[in-house]
Structure 1
Amino acid sequence: MGPEQIMAVRHGESEANLAHRRAGTTPLVYERGDDEVTLTELGRTQAAALGRLLAALPAGEAPELVWCSPYLRALDTWRLARERWGAAPPVTVDGRLRDQEAGAFAHLNVAAIQERHPGEMARREREGAYAFRPPGGESLADVVVRLRGFLADLSLDRRADGRRVLIVAHDSVVLGLRHVIAAAPDAELAAVLEFAPVLNASVSLWRAGGGRLDLVRFNDVTHLTP
């Protein structure tokens, strides 16, 4: 049967997000590993706002189960949201919800990639951002493959049958979920990039109806407005 509802949240602003934004078009090498990056002060504020949103939901709409990325920024977002919410639904950490792996591009912003790997950037332009796989990394198509497996397992998980599920993860995961839940052909994967960027602490929601999950809202950040 599968979940009655899926709510997908991108983590709050991370230290790497802030460093990349400040660097702008200046080449940047960010030394911390992708799984080690935690939240900025703004990111913690965003996570608390998510918790307030969850606390304000009617009982019949609040998540009952949580699946989370193993990366620290996602785990911290859930921890802070849970503390503000005041509820503690069961949590499962699943490696398939990790961010898209950058491989040789890890630690580098776009300007640094262009400086160090101009040939690879040219290949990215030829192949398209959804299909391009950096050396040792993943394409968005690769992320979709693991998310398809995750959702297939979730639909068979008796814990999730008819329940409301919260997923706390990353921008690439939320985009990939949109593609997989819509059952769109992989030939149309590039179209999902029209909905990028997925914003920090944004909420996307699907509800079951007619034997499928229908999109209710996507990339919603109204709960972050004071």
Structure 2
Amino acid sequence: MAGVNALQWLNVTRHGESTGNLAYQAVEGTDAEEAGIPERDADVPLSDTGRAQAATLGRWLAALPEDERPTLVVSSPYVRALDTAKIALAQTSYAAPRDPGGLRPRVDERLRDREQGALQGLTTLGVERRFPEEAERLRHLGKFYYRPPGGESWADLALRLRSFYRDLGADAPGGRVLVVTHDAIVVMTRYLVEDLTEKEVMEIEKETVGNASITRWRQGGSGLRAVRYNDCAHLINAGVSAS
């Protein structure tokens, strides 16, 4: 994809475990129609485990060879992502506030999570019961193109991410970038960087993107080449729960 291929390294991570993740896990397999999350999506915070995951991510960043360390960090504005970025950077020697000229996360709203619109906070059962016509429309259109009322489809994510990565390549040619974001954005970044099809990316989407997992691409001479996807080894090796 033009723009992003100007980078030397692209690292993408999902935020650490959030209280919203825990809320959905708590109602999984029950007859609950809502997850019961009190905050708006942008304000959902990290859990204690999520903060530990973010710190472990930071220690992984700190241990990278100097020529692989991020020169730019860009985060979703959502609390759970931005706090992940800040906690991780605090573990490194090249980040502010230890160094007044150190690395600070830049916020870009194009990295926010997929907007669910009228279906926000509902479980699968909740959607079936409260919006049966939408559940049927989803089955008919497929996940990639289905747009919930007031929300976004996965194709919509591709549109805003094309813009983001085009600007990123122009702003930081030859740079080493860390993007801190959400699971759907991680998946759709693969779609764009690796020039995947709808079928291929929806197959990848079936695997849960781990909290604070690492996905990486490296410059291969004519563009970015995949190095690893959804890797949680840094968490497991540190004895931190990989959720």
Short-chain TM bin: over 0.9
Q: 2:33 is matched with which residue: 27, 31, 34?
A: 27
Instruction: For residue 193 of structure 1, report the CA deviation from its aligned partner.
Output: 2.3
The percentage of aligned residue pairs carrying the same residue is 43
CA distance, structure 2, for counterparts of residue 37 and residue 152 of structure 1:
29
Which position in structure 2 is the counterpart of 1:183?
A: 195
Which position in structure 1 is the counterpart of 2:183?
A: 171
Q: In 1, are the aligned partners of 2:6 and 2:223 still within 8 Å (CA)?
A: no
For residue 163 of structure 1, what is the amino acid of its counterpart? G
CA distance, structure 1, for counterparts of residue 50 and residue 124 of structure 2:
22
2:211 alignment partner, SS class: coil
Q: In 2, are the aligned partners of 1:33 and 1:107 still within 8 Å (CA)?
A: no
Q: In 1, are the aligned partners of 2:85 and 2:105 still within 8 Å (CA)?
A: no
Confirm or deny that 1:7 pairs with 2:11. Answer: yes
Which position in structure 1 is the counterpart of 2:130?
A: 116
2:44 alignment partner, SS class: coil
For residue 49 of structure 1, what is the amino acid of its counterpart? T
Query: How do 1:126-205 and structure 2 match up within 5 A?
Result: 126-157=140-171, 160-184=172-196, 188-196=197-205, 197-205=208-216
Instruction: For residue 131 of structure 1, report the CA deviation from its aligned partner.
Output: 1.1
For residue 28 of structure 2, what is the amino acid of its counterpart? G
CA distance, structure 2, for counterparts of residue 45 and residue 91 of structure 1:
19
Q: In 1, are the aligned partners of 2:86 and 2:105 still within 8 Å (CA)?
A: no
Q: In 2, are the aligned partners of 1:47 and 1:81 still within 8 Å (CA)?
A: yes
Cα deviation code 1:4-50 (max 9, x no counterpart): 01000000011110000011133224231110001011111110110
Cα deviation code 1:129-155 (max 9, x no counterpart): 111100000001000110011111112
1:84 alignment partner, SS class: coil
* TM-score (ref. length: structure 1): 0.94
Q: In 2, are the aligned partners of 1:31 and 1:107 still within 8 Å (CA)?
A: no
CA distance, structure 2, for counterparts of residue 42 and residue 130 of structure 1:
31
Confirm or deny that 1:60 pairs with 2:67. Answer: yes
Q: In 1, are the aligned partners of 2:116 and 2:151 still within 8 Å (CA)?
A: yes
1:125 alignment partner, SS class: helix
CA distance, structure 1, for counterparts of residue 117 and residue 181 of structure 2:
19
Which position in structure 2 is the counterpart of 1:100?
A: 114
Which position in structure 1 is the counterpart of 2:53?
A: 46
Q: In 2, are the aligned partners of 1:141 and 1:189 still within 8 Å (CA)?
A: no
2:6 alignment partner, SS class: coil
Q: 1:207 is matched with which residue: 215, 218, 221?
A: 218
Instruction: For residue 161 of structure 1, report the CA deviation from its aligned partner.
Output: 1.4
* TM-score (ref. length: structure 2): 0.87
Instruction: For residue 111 of structure 1, report the CA deviation from its aligned partner.
Output: 2.2
User: Gaps spanning 5+ residues in structure 1: where?
Assistant: none
Cα deviation code 1:107-146 (max 9, x no counterpart): 2222222221121111111111111100000001000110
CA distance, structure 1, for counterparts of residue 185 and residue 229 of structure 2:
13
Instruction: For residue 182 of structure 1, report the CA deviation from its aligned partner.
Output: 1.4
User: Gaps spanning 5+ residues in structure 2: where?
Assistant: 96-102
Give the CA RMSD over aligned residues: 1.3
Q: Which range moved further: 130-139 or 115-124?
A: 115-124
May I ask how many residue pairs the two structures share in their alignment?
221
CA distance, structure 1, for counterparts of residue 21 and residue 150 of structure 2:
22
Q: Which runs of 4+ in 1 moved over 6 A?
A: none
Q: In 2, are the aligned partners of 1:30 and 1:108 still within 8 Å (CA)?
A: no
For residue 123 of structure 2, what is the amino acid of its counterpart? N
